[in-house]
Structure 1
Amino acid sequence: MSDFILGLDVGTTSVKAVLLETGCRAVAASQALPTVSDLPDHSGIKAKEQDTGRIIDTLNRCIGLLPGDKLQRVRCVGLTGQMHGILLWRPESGCDWSNRDFFTAKHTSQLITWQDGRCSSDFLSSLPKPDSHLSVSTGFGSATIFWYMKNKPEFLEDFTVAGTIQDYVVSMLCGLDGCVMTPQNAASWGFFNTSSNQWNENILKGAGFPLHLLPQCVPSGSLAGRTRSQWHGIPAGTPVGAALGDFQCSVYSCMSARTDAVLNISTSAQLTFAMPADFNPPDSPQPVSSISYFPYFDSMYLAVAASLNGGNVLATFVEMLTSWMRELGAELSDSCLYEKLIHCALNQQTSDLRVSPTILGERHNPLCLGHVTNISTSNLSLGHVIRALCRGVLDNITSMMPVGCLQQAGVSRIVGSGSALARNEVLRQEVEKAFPLQVVYGQNADSAVGVAMVLCDRL
């Protein structure tokens, strides 16, 4: 009889749970539910917070939909989820197990997500310089704590432990007195040196930072503890992995060879490949570089071009047309309009129209917004515009990580993934034009599957 790994992804908008069969590494069952946990911002500080209780309730409901007989044969539980954000709690009262088969959040803060905008550029520039190759941005856990130190120091006094939302779930499942965190999530918080795998304690101490809130760092892929109670039929004492980053897990789920690069185009877009085992990142942040280096597994790094502009650009264009049509007295759903636009573009194989789609800017160049050039009377059809827009998404990501960079790194294949690529044939055509390499699809990046695969490979 087969055993299973339970992989859980506590994402920004939804929770996903998968049961991975240990022998054949096939997904035996999966469920996903939206969390509907966003809280309104009445503060005027560009806060982005989510209701912790709703997230945990959704997690419990999601697991409850999985086959009970298979949950009883879970050998290990793996957690991943949204990076950068922060949740604070007191271990002794951080959850309630009185319902026995599941826990509910209790005496925790709300989740302050990676999308939080309360830390202005001026505020971030006032922080000490980190001893790290990664810059600190608004929405990062360390930056949020600094903000509370300055603006609401009494808020921090109510809590003794902090971590990401996935770290919190691990702590509650295992009944830990503190929080353990892998370098993948620690790096996403800021003020963490991935070469030494240590927090910048001296720098933070000098700035008056509450060091007791820093989690204990453990290797990525290691265990954090064992379940303290039975959980939805999963036996008490089941090993639980230390939580991992959702980006790293999504890459792990579909990068089958060191010579693969993964191109994911969903809401945003990412292009990444694994660096050589002996690679060391820069000594200091490179804020104007379009390529970042994220800690992966076994002391390795991923080179990442993470664009803010992907499928969201196409969605914005569709929303714009829908709004225009509504103003003109015509009605057509977004999904129907999207399909019609793709059909128009499929009939227009090329276009000399040029669209730079960076309407959201980029982290390394936030002031570089979108523009359209080479406009003529012959290229104003919807087919021309959509074809040029799709090519622009690819032109942008390849400008951040040029094809020559991939070839120099020994990349021989592009693994295409993401909802936008799966839905948009025009986008796939432009991918194949942009890369003079083999392009394969069908290995969709999935963080929940990835975290289960990590633990399956390490059992």
Structure 2
Amino acid sequence: MFMGIDVGTSAVKALLMDDTSAIVAEADIALSLSNPRPYWSEQNPSDWWDATLQAIDLIMRENAGALAKVRAIGLSGQMHGAVILGADDTPLRPAILWNDGRAKTECDELEAALPGLPHRAGVVAMPGMTAPKITWLQKHEPDIFAAIRTIMLPKDYIRLCLCGEKATEMSDAAGTLWLDEENRAWNDDAIAATGLRRNQVPDLFEGSDPTGTLRHELAERWGMDKNVVIAGGGGDAATGGIGAGAVTHGAGFISLGTSSQLFVASDRYRPKPELLLHSFAHAIPDRWFQMAVLLNGASCLAWVAKILGENNIGELLTRTEAQHKKPSDLMFLPYLSGERTPHNDPYARGVFFGLGTNTNREHMVQAVLEGVAFALADAQSCLHAAGTYCELPGVIGGGARSLYWTQMIADIMGTPLARYKGGAKGPAFGAARLARLSVRDGSIEEVCTPPAIEDILKPDQNRHEQYQPRMAKFRRLYDALAAEFQDRPAS
């Protein structure tokens, strides 16, 4: 038996996986997000740990026998978050998250100081990355910066709590801007450029490596063996890839979670920072991936449902589909948290364009779904410009549950999409697979197989052609507003 824990933005998820890759039990504990100022996004690391304890306690109450058989635990988590630890290894402030936009100036300064950084780090400097946040801290919170003992990533803070070890692995370190992606080693020049020393970042492992064993008191709490291994794990993009079997060259997926990604695995390092792609180390040895990253995904649907007072998203989607006759006359820019690919614009924001007296809530929801799909098509064009293609991406994440939305995405992108049997298992499942690899129970090829396909959604050519003028308008609308987004409220 193996456990996967995913420290997401909206929830911590824990699951148990048996030796056949079947999920035996799972639990989710919701998290809250703090936005204390415009463009800021933070969470308290202690909330992640409390949620982790609650999730495993829930599994124990109904699956104590299975939990007792766990041999290893794998970790996954939201990438880029800066967890700032002091001398006693407790957080000095809330963690600054992946969708935080405060450090744009610091990105420009880092690239000016290290002109070769994007090609070594696999991506241009963006505010969501870890490194510019630390430079921001040095300027704006100098007392906290001076007290830093260690910088950790979200899932690695949970590792520290589970086993007392300070470690990270390649795929999560990839999102810091401090990793030399091709050589899978820390880039000392990049670390120094943010005012840190090498001993202030954790040691590096592969995601399938063991990094420690579960603390004795936690093993007793959950009735587990005292030698349970804690695997390296991975950033949520990479563990999503492990769960979806995207480990061979050209295999890929689309994630429709809080944010969205188009992920394609690669057999070598292929940096294309000029296209605003992320070229990162994978969570297994000698593999990399290219990724187009969107800061907004299914979170846009949750947002519009909330502001419309709709508590049942499934029923809302059913009503929206029933009235959907053609592409919406309403346009939605889905940049609620800014955007990375293809704009690198932390200040972009959501926009409804074309509201009229006949606009109803279903029209608004259709426009939101289409807006996310247009953004995915925009991101796909960047991958294609880099010469990167995926023949049949799978769709994972909460949005994958909607056949209506995934078919719309296929129609707009002009790309066939696969949905998996039993639903999309996501990063926690990939983390459990890395746990299995950490105890050498099978090879990468044996463990990281693609899930069985439930259905293949082929794009409807007529609908694809109908959407092309709307796609062009979507792009023109952002271009027309880009300068206006820069006129932002003071933070």
Q: 1:71: which partner in 2?
A: 67
Name structure 2 gaps, 5 residues minimum.
Answer: 441-491
Question: Which of 265, 281, 285 lines up with 1:298 in the alignment?
Answer: 285
Partner Cα distance (2:101, 2:354) in 1: 39
Partner Cα distance (1:403, 1:210) in 2: 35
What is the CA deviation profile of residues 289-344 of structure 1, one whole-angstrom value per residue up to 9, with x for unaligned ones?
24322321222222212223433334444455x3xxxxxxxxxx413587356424
Structure 2 residue identity aligned to 1:201: D
Give the conservation status (yes or no) of the 8 Å contact 1:353–1:385. no
* Equivalent residues in 2 for 1:148-297, closer than 5 Å: 148-176=137-165, 179-205=166-192, 208-231=195-218, 232-255=222-245, 258=248, 260-275=251-266, 277-282=267-272, 285-286=273-274, 289-296=275-282, 297=284
Question: Which of 75, 83, 88 lines up with 2:84 in the alignment?
Answer: 88
Give the conservation status (yes or no) of the 8 Å contact 2:400–2:424. no
Q: 2:339: which partner in 1?
A: 362
- The two structures, once aligned, show a CA RMSD in angstroms of 3.4
* Equivalent residues in 2 for 1:324-403, closer than 5 Å: 333-335=309-311, 339-340=315-316, 342-351=318-327, 353=329, 355-360=331-336, 361-363=338-340, 364-365=342-343, 366=345, 386-387=365-366, 389-402=368-381
Q: TM-score, normalised by structure 2?
A: 0.74
Give the conservation status (yes or no) of the 8 Å contact 1:313–1:357. no
Structure 1 or 2, whichever has the larger Rg, is: 1
With over 3 angstroms needed to count, the CA separation of the structure-2 counterparts of 1:182 and 1:437, relative to structure 1, is same
Tell me how far 1:407 sits from its aligned partner. Answer: 12
Partner Cα distance (1:307, 1:158) in 2: 33
**248-257 or 334-343, larger mean C-alpha shift:** 334-343
Give the match's secondary structure for 2:121: coil
With over 3 angstroms needed to count, the CA separation of the structure-2 counterparts of 1:307 and 1:65, relative to structure 1, is same
Q: 1:418: which partner in 2?
A: 397
Partner Cα distance (2:57, 2:173) in 1: 30
Q: 1:28: which partner in 2?
A: 24
Partner Cα distance (1:318, 1:263) in 2: 22
What is the CA deviation profile of residues 250-278 of structure 1, one whole-angstrom value per residue up to 9, with x for unaligned ones?
22212367454312223332222212x13
Question: Which of 98, 111, 136 lines up with 1:147 in the alignment?
Answer: 136
Name structure 1 gaps, 5 residues minimum.
Answer: 95-106, 323-332
Question: Which of 98, 101, 107 lines up with 1:124 in the alignment?
Answer: 107
Give the conservation status (yes or no) of the 8 Å contact 2:42–2:97. no
Tell me how far 1:25 sits from its aligned partner. Answer: 1.4
Q: TM-score, normalised by structure 1?
A: 0.79
Structure with more of its chain in helix, by fraction: 2
Q: How many residues align?
A: 419
Structure 2 residue identity aligned to 1:292: H
Give the match's secondary structure for 1:346: helix
Tell me how far 1:52 sits from its aligned partner. Answer: 2.8
Give the match's secondary structure for 2:71: strand
Is 2:389 the partner of 1:448?
A: no
Partner Cα distance (2:39, 2:339) in 1: 19
Partner Cα distance (2:359, 2:123) in 1: 42
Q: 2:453: which partner in 1?
A: none
Structure 2 residue identity aligned to 1:390: L
With over 3 angstroms needed to count, the CA separation of the structure-2 counterparts of 1:457 and 1:260, relative to structure 1, is same
Partner Cα distance (2:372, 2:364) in 1: 12
Tell me how far 1:412 sits from its aligned partner. Answer: 2.9
Partner Cα distance (2:70, 2:393) in 1: 34
Is 2:12 the partner of 1:15?
A: yes
Structure 1 residue identity aligned to 2:183: S
With over 3 angstroms needed to count, the CA separation of the structure-2 counterparts of 1:252 and 1:19, relative to structure 1, is same
**399-408 or 232-241, larger mean C-alpha shift:** 399-408
Give the conservation status (yes or no) of the 8 Å contact 1:136–1:191. no
Partner Cα distance (1:337, 1:233) in 2: 38
